[in-house]
Amino acid sequence: MGSRLHTAEGELNLIRPARPQDVSQILSFIRELAVYEKLEHEVVATEESLRTTLFSDKPAAEVVFIEDNGIPVGFALYFTSYSTFLGKPGLYLEDLYVKPEARGRGYGKKLLAYLAKEVVRRNYGRLEWSVLDWNLPSIEFYESLGAEPLADWIRYRLTEAPLKRLAESV
């Protein structure tokens, strides 16, 4: 099941859910995104960890690809979040990536529109994501769609040793 989109040039685009046999492509896109974000040193995901976490009985996240004539040119990885204020779930977009040679053709917008449709279809309350503060092309793109930064919020994260210390503190 996918969503077919035709461009003015007649190209056929398909947004489709990822399948277990796509884990190598997912990992490749994750690594490419990490290089773009100057965070490649942080990627420890493996094909096996992706297979386990994305395609188990209780997947931790979902992935869709956008294809150009059958070739994946981008992906979105997202998961369900929850808003206590809205009393509804939402979707949190963890990663959105379009290959550099495919940028400027509307693929990122199509992926976000697909996710917006999913939020509406599921009767969720919102679609959220984070962007690096130096990534002006992405910030301008998101704002052109009507997205607004949450200036009053600071995102925090616990990983590795601090996470383990806190877990062992009680």
Give the long-range contacts of residues 27-32, CB within 8 A, separation 24 or more. 29/72, 29/74, 29/75, 29/95, 29/97, 30/77, 30/95, 30/97, 32/97, 32/99
Amino acid 76 reads A
CB-facing half-sphere around the CA of 156: CA atoms within 13 A:
3
φ, ψ dihedrals at 26, nearest 5°: -60, -50
φ, ψ dihedrals at 166, nearest 5°: -65, -40
Catalytic residue selected from 97, 107, 124, 142 = 142
- Respond yes or no: is residue 142 known to be catalytic: yes
Q: Give the active site residues.
A: 142
